[in-house]
């Protein structure tokens, strides 16, 4: 469940509008955020949640709301220094915020800068275009664009960086593949077939497993990072666009349930629970410390915070 500090911060800042009974399991809370929330990220070390809204703002769980120059299409957090990075596909920029939501800088992210992830071991931010097959490389110390890598496809739908193994995985929706980027050489070295319309993806670091939400078909692809093959499919109740994984337990959550979420045992590769929220869930994030799951509700300008699921 949420730690007391994290829960109090979210309730005070976002304004809880509905609370389930104390004895309910799981517990679901809703919080008002900005208009049309589309993406969410959690700093698990600090217990702070950030929500990207369709009006070009980021809501922070301390009451702050900051404009980021365009509709946020992805968020990434450096949990060491607390900096928050917000990509804006239309603006082609990355906005850098401090942990309290104060604007630090705006960096060119390349054309169509849509999705991003950090390699904190090398102080690099990788920003993948949603309109071209390019990936921008940003030096997070200098705050400057240092390179633009050329890759396959007409735009990427998601990215996850494995800093330990120095590779990145990027979904290629048009081709129905996950592309593998060697961070050392800057070359794309493999293309892995998935289901139709791969979108969000998550990496379980210890088992070197990549989970891919396929937005065009009712299954989640499970990819073996070592062999670079799809080793299994998990059949869902509906198409999924977002997926997260709790690292300590290898528990996977996706927005591919019946108007809600599904819970998957990553070791067994099977659905073990589902939770109906009565909405079409949007972007997801997970607090690695508490295992609380956050999901946006773009239609009602809300964030769901779920613990005990």
Whole-angstrom Cα distance, residue 254 to residue 263?
A: 7
Whole-angstrom Cα distance, residue 67 to residue 71?
A: 9
Instruction: Give me the DSSP letters along 172-226.
Output: ETTTTEEEEEETTTTEEEEEEE-SSSEEEEEEETTTTEEEEEETTSSEEEEEETT
Q: What is the reported pTM? A: 0.92
DSSP 10: H
DSSP 9: H
Whole-angstrom Cα distance, residue 169 to residue 77?
A: 18
Q: What structural domains does the chain harbor?
A: 64-293 (2.130.10.10)
From first to last of its 309 residues, the chain has per-residue pLDDT tens of 334 344 444 544 565 444 333 345 799 999 999 999 999 999 999 999 999 999 999 999 767 889 997 999 999 999 999 999 999 999 999 999 999 999 999 999 999 999 999 999 999 999 999 999 999 999 999 999 999 999 998 999 999 999 999 999 999 999 999 999 999 999 999 999 999 999 999 999 999 999 999 999 999 999 999 999 999 999 998 999 999 999 999 999 999 988 999 999 999 999 999 999 999 999 999 999 999 999 999 999 999 999 999
Long-range contacts from 273-279, C-beta under 8 angstroms, 24+ separation? 273/309, 274/237, 275/26, 275/28, 275/306, 275/309, 277/28, 277/304
Q: Where are the alpha helices (DSSP H) in the chain?
A: 4-10
The helix (H) or strand (E) run that includes residue 31 is strand 27-32
Residue 44 in tokens: 């698990």
């Amino acid at each position: 469940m949420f730690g007391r500090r994290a829960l109090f911060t979210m309730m005070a800042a976002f304004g809880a509008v509905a609370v389930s009974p104390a004895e309910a399991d799981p517990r679901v809370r809703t919080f008002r955020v900005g208009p049309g929330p589309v993406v969410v990220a959690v700093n698990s070390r600090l217990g702070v949640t950030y929500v990207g809204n369709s009006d070009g703002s980021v809501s922070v769980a301390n009451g702050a709301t900051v404009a980021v120059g365009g509709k946020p299409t992805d968020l990434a957090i450096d949990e060491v220094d607390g900096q928050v990075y917000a990509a804006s596909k239309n603006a082609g920029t990355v906005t850098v915020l401090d942990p309290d939501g104060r604007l630090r800088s705006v960096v060119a992210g390349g054309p169509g800068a849509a999705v991003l992830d950090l390699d904190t071991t090398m102080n690099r931010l990788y920003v993948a275009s949603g309109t071209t097959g390019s990936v921008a490389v940003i030096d997070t110390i200098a705050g400057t664009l240092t390179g633009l890598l050329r890759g396959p496809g007409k735009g990427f739908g998601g990215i996850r960086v494995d800093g330990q193994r120095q590779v990145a995985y990027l979904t290629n929706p048009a081709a129905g593949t996950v592309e593998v980027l060697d961070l050392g050489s800057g070359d794309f070295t493999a293309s892995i077939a998935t289901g139709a319309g791969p979108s969000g993806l998550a990496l379980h670091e210890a088992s070197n497993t990549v989970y891919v939400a396929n937005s065009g078909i009712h299954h989640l692809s499970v990819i073996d990072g070592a062999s670079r093959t799809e080793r299994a499919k998990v059949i869902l109740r509906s198409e999924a666009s977002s997926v997260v994984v709790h690292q300590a337990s290898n528990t996977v959550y996706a927005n591919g349930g019946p108007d809600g979420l599904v819970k998957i045992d990553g070791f067994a590769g099977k659905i073990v629970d589902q939770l109906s929220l009565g909405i079409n869930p949007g972007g997801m994030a997970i607090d690695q410390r508490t295992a609380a799951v956050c999901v946006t509700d773009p239609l009602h300008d809300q964030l769901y915070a779920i613990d005990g699921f």
